[in-house]
Structure 1
Amino acid sequence: MGETEVLCDSLMNWLSQFDVPAPHQHYLEMTDGVAIAQILNQIDPDFFNETWLTRIKQNVSDNFRLKVTGNELVGFQLPDIPAISEQSDKQQLGRLLQLILGVVVNCSRKHQYIEEIMQLDEDVQHVVMTAIQELMQHYVPCGSDQVDSAGTSEASQELQMLHRKVKEIEAEREEIAQRCHKLENQV
């Protein structure tokens, strides 16, 4: 399985925990954009409001809209939306789902969502953290009136804290594996 498929699967694992009406347990269910729109509405209802949500047509595979609040992506390979909707391209869907992480780390309830990410399986956490790091390298605030530098700095600090937690968990896992090995040798 390629790195981009692992990314897509890990992000699908995380997104499957959102309680939205549209089916979203399998990556093919995400390709029409309806579930993604509902999840974005849940994450940041101020920006992805009900008016915006009503413009998302259900059961139409060629309609897809996505906005990332208050930021511009520079040098980030944007997903190929037609490849997602027409060919159910899992690699491109992974890139799209990665953009949702950008919304999460910039929304007002980011702490809640980050805590939920920290409850996922360690391998999934690691992939999600790496995806956030990659994305944050490409974020540039669009304007001081939309996203202030303190907000961007806070998101960066939050990301660093999450990265430290993942490293601590990985170290604990390695220590436990070593203990198990020692006990096996004793037995």
Structure 2
Amino acid sequence: GIDGKVGPQTAGLLDDIAAGTSSIVMAYQEGVGGVAFGTLVETALPALIAELGPPDYTLGWEMGPCGPTPPYGGWEWYKVTWGGFTAWFTEHDGPRQFDGWEVTDLSDVPSNLYFVGGIAPGWTWSKLAALGATYDEFYGWWYLNSLEYRQGTFVVPPPGNPPPNSAQILGWGVGTASVLYDC
């Protein structure tokens, strides 16, 4: 805490981490847990399932958002979803591989999944702005470029620029899940 003290829950968590018994999985700019972007699907998917549990839903392999014609199209993707969290796999850089992740509902992610930057359920624009986030009024999205978090959304789209401090964060994407496809 700010006063240099920790509560029993934090102390217990620190003990678990130090002992190597923590089940925490960290999502970050380049992957999730021990699975980095670029890891082939045959390795990445079983590893993510081992860390996050059985998925709720899978979708794919489907044609990417730009259709079948290169240079913007011609690749497929596969999505694996745990509640409000989705791992994206694509073949647009060659072989089928883990290529991005997306939060679609911050209040419904696996309980052991944490995000770099500390973003957690209940977060508001004021906390995100304090980390350096910017807002694009045209699209209605927030961006936290230092962590490569892009196309962020709010529970209720906020009026104005900047959004009200109380606007609640809903989701965002990283990697392939954070790209606006202008086909």
TM-based fold match above 0.5: no
Structure in which a larger fraction of residues adopt strand: 2
Q: Which has the higher contact order (CA 8 A, sep 6+)?
A: 1
